[in-house]
Amino acid sequence: MTEYDKNWDAYGKSIDDRKDAPEWAILRQARETHWREFFTGIAGKKVLDAGCGHGEYTVFALLAGASVWAFDYSAEMVEATRSRLERQGLQAQDLYQGSVTEIPHEDKSFDVVFCLAVLDHLPGDARTQALREMHRVLKPGGTLYLDVPNRLALHWRFVFLLMRLLRLYPGGKIHFFLPWEIRALARQNGFEPQASLGLTFCPPFSGIYTTDIRRVTFLPQFLIRPLDRLYLKVEQTMRRLGPFKAVCWHYFLKCRKRDD
Ligand SMILES: C[S@@+](CC[C@H](N)C(=O)[O-])C[C@H]1O[C@@H](n2cnc3c(N)ncnc32)[C@H](O)[C@@H]1O
């Protein structure tokens, strides 16, 4: 394992419990509403969560009635997902350590594949390899969901730089994608982009959310909740609109496997 991979293990451990903390509430709601809006038709489907991290999307898919297989390169992340599923009384079909560049499943096994905030951690040739693998394991006409950090979200990139300087995020390179760059990459590897949606337009008032900078707010408690609610409404509207979607921190792309 490289130094970079070890960092993911430490990161997996360090923030797992914080995901359930009060300052994350607004972000959990943002993610849940985003899930409902964007990840449609999941019930009854065979889903592969490639690079599941803490398992938040594995949980969403299971709750939506899908059969889910999930894996991550980091053993600690796999454990974090395992304990999250246990806490929620849910069960995946399988949960294991593995790499998206070498998926241990047969061709055309899944209706849906998630690869969320993973491609940006891979070097260029591995990104292509990962997309080919996901194309291989998807059934004809299957759906791929991608999430990448957005190079146009300059405000978030500043916060991210700060996190890096404070050593609050795993080391190693992250590739910030331009929205049209990830669309082109998907096309080159046999997918047809169908829809896109932004997530996280600006930090909520309950604290500067970047995964690890601890809650920092200068506002009195009684103001935080209404302001956060307002933020959520603003985000839910803005993330659909072209110019605003294009500056959200996360850029989600839904693609269909081309049958060629
Ligand atoms: C930012 S987290 C995203 C987790 C989850 N998909 C989500 O959206 O909440 C990135 C994850 O990618 C995983 N990862 C990095 N390289 C990978 C690879 N080659 N194969 C599978 N997972 C990988 C890391 O271990 C980490 O859990």
pLDDT digits (tens, 9 = 90+) for 163-218: 778 777 777 788 999 999 999 999 999 999 999 999 988 777 766 544 445 555 66
Q: What is the pLDDT of residues 49-101, one digit of tens each?
A: 999 999 999 999 999 999 999 999 999 899 999 999 999 999 999 999 999 99
Question: Does 74 contact ligand 1 (Cβ within 6 A)?
Answer: yes
| Top mutation candidate among 118, 150, 160 for ligand 1, by most atoms within 8 Å of CB | 118
| Top mutation candidate among 5, 28, 39, 73 for ligand 1, by most atoms within 8 Å of CB | 73
* Closest ligand 1 atom to Cα of 100: 20
Domains of the chain: 3-257 (3.40.50.150)
Q: Are 58 and 86 in contact (CB under 8 A)?
A: no
45 against 76, higher pLDDT: 45
Q: What share of the chain is helix, strand, coil (3-state, %, to 5)?
A: 45, 20, 35
* Closest ligand 1 atom to Cα of 12: 27
Checking if the pLDDT of 1 tops 50, the result is no
Question: Does the predicted model carry a pTM greater than 0.85?
Answer: yes
Q: What is the pLDDT of residue 2?
A: 43
Question: Does 7 contact ligand 1 (Cβ within 6 A)?
Answer: no
102 against 218, higher pLDDT: 102
Q: What is the pLDDT of residue 175?
A: 93
> What separation in Å is there between the alpha carbon of 221 and the centre of ligand 1?
34
Amino acid letter, residue 135: H
* Mean confidence (pLDDT) of the chain: 88
Distant-in-sequence contacts of 187-191, Cβ < 8 A, 24+ apart: 188/128, 189/128, 189/131, 189/132, 189/135, 190/131, 190/132, 190/135, 190/257, 190/258, 190/260, 191/131, 191/135, 191/144, 191/255, 191/256, 191/257, 191/258
What band does 223 get if pLDDT is binned at 50, 70 and 90? confident
Integer Cα distance of 204 and 213 in angstroms? 13
Of 81, 89, 29, nearest to 58 (Cα)?
A: 81
